[in-house]
Structure 1
């Protein structure tokens, strides 16, 4: 759980830092825009009102008009001050203070309508000047900076309060999102820890179709495959032990009898010797499969190719297996294309391929026949080995090339085998840049087709 908090905290801090940074940037931009717009509005308003007052007084320069202008500003937050051309104060809506006096222009200077002071942070007023027509005087307008500072202060408070509210909401949302993001990762971490301890089959309940869900699904599939290979390995070790023990028992038992001279009948002696030879051959094939698999696994599988007639190689294997077929009452039918071109293969390993495939056909065929064909098609020499045996269920067919795979444990016990034969066959064929495919109908038979490129 400690790691969970750690990654959640890290993601939360990352998102929070990014969010706070963006919020501060946005807040500063909004603050600057609002302040500038508001100050510009005040300056424009002061200038417009000052110009209007200057026009009215210039059109009718008497005390009544000036008094009317002063009365208009007395009820407003702004102040007005009117002077003649010599900067003598004619009237003011309030008693001029030091800051107002300091911003009066010099006597005799010719002024245009403009903003005299806009620094509301350092000065008491925002001030504009509007000259009257014919240079008869000036109208000064004052907006108290205190009001503006209060408005800005309130705006800052609102920004801070709303910002804190948004931050709290964001932290809650970020915490929720980071928790949602890290929870599947924690589930996967716990599952991989269990897999590392040998508990391969794990259920990872991660919903969705995104990358995290796909990762969870991949880990679950990996665990299932590891469990499958672990079960296969255990079964393989048990089967290898059984396969080794049985022929060794026969060999030891019958050799002991012969060595002790307990059998004087030549027929019995020959039978015992045949049994010993048969069991020794069985051990040889088993050891060869294991040896080939080990070389495949460590990447030391090398070929020693020679030019050969493939029909002759098939016929050699068939002639050696005919006695086993006849013993079960099976016929082996050969249909070879006579004019097949020579091809380059590793004779020993290709012989192993044909032994494995034809022996399998004999093992799993109760009655009927085994047909072996060879023919040329396009740039390929094609060899088919077809039997009328018990067949392979369609759902099991794609798995027969896997290491240690046996279609049915019960029939494996009856016929022998470690699930390595077809795996080794496929590796040998593919190392020749060829291909092998299998087709089967349950209770009708199987066909294995080899494609060897010229």
Structure 2
């Protein structure tokens, strides 16, 4: 903008800067909108990629677990087969009467092998253990049961039968090893491997209870083990459990073709989609297939957890863009209004007093100088937030822990810090629950004052309770009760119980009472919260279990606290239980 007053001539100030300011505002808004679209698009693409990665890693982990189970089964079967072969060599020169002692030793030391016996060269069972399970004196030829015996005698090799239903229950396979003495065939040592025993040993714990099941089938699709559908053992799945044209039948067909892989199928019995990983199990001339099956919702929950974190990140970025662009628009608007007002005042002054050209000219020059300074200051004020916004976005994109700008880090990563602290608590909880399950959680047992422990726990939670307007009463006050225990771990238990009570109590009070029952201290931690349904009481001490209610979802939590409390109390030789009525509060009872 140029103003000139020379030789008494008045020149109208230009106001071309006014629309220029409007253009800048619109440009700023357009850039902000474009950034928001780019961030949203990038977040959508990233969500899809992350979802695919999580699903792929989940199925790969499931397949790895299945392979480990297959290796365990193969090792068990081969180890028992070799054991019978070694036993056959040991008894080659023994009489049938002396063989029983060898059979008894192997039977007692080898779980999953029973019974063990010897058939002489004429096809008669002459020795065995346990005696009541072996038909000593049975002539295989007379009963037309000599097929496997003839096979071992004619081939001179160990034979293994296809799985069959055992008289004592379960599924098993027979092993026969030919016995030679001085090169002459003297008979066959036979035994039965209980497949049900090896399945319980190597398959029962592959998938945590409640998160899926494991099953084992033959090459014709007959069930040897199924942790979820035990009634299917010995039966074929196709035709009994699913139809020929079902998606599950396609998975079973892949398994029967001795293939390895993963897939999805619809469980007709539960009405849900499941993810399955399967791999072959090879034992001598038999090929079976073991598989793990988990609900598809398990991987969906993992993906949704990642989605929530990404949506939070995108929301923060968009908020920063909106706040920054809004600030710029406000600065432009104020600048534009000031310029418009200045032009209007200057124009009116020049129109009113053309005779004061000199003074007016001086004033205009001063105004130009002030305007230049204002532009400089405004430019600086614009550059500073833009630089800050860019730096913030860079930091948020990199997710680094730079310490160059502590204030910026604290402001932008406050949420991250809280999540890190939350994860730290979760890791500590996971470590505790792991030590409890493996029996490696150590206790520093020493004489301690139970009432002092309770008072310390109450003090540590008093501020939180006062913020919520909830009172905590510990009865009785001022007394002492000596017990032997780990002070820190017991404080951890009471703090956890009080914290849970505060979390699920909107108003009322929390009361801690101690009394002696049958010579043992009984501590009752009661609240006036939402309560727990009767059907949930038996499961609230399970790890990761959370009562399904709206307040629970708002309060959050890892679902490990009560499981850890139970492990610590039981580690002290005590017990913990819950009493509750929905809408009237809960009471946790500890007996030490």
TM-score by length of 1: 0.45
TM-score by length of 2: 0.36
Instruction: Please state which structure has a larger fraction of its residues in helix.
Output: 1
Instruction: Please state which structure has a larger fraction of its residues in strand.
Output: 2
Highest CA radius of gyration, 1 or 2? 1
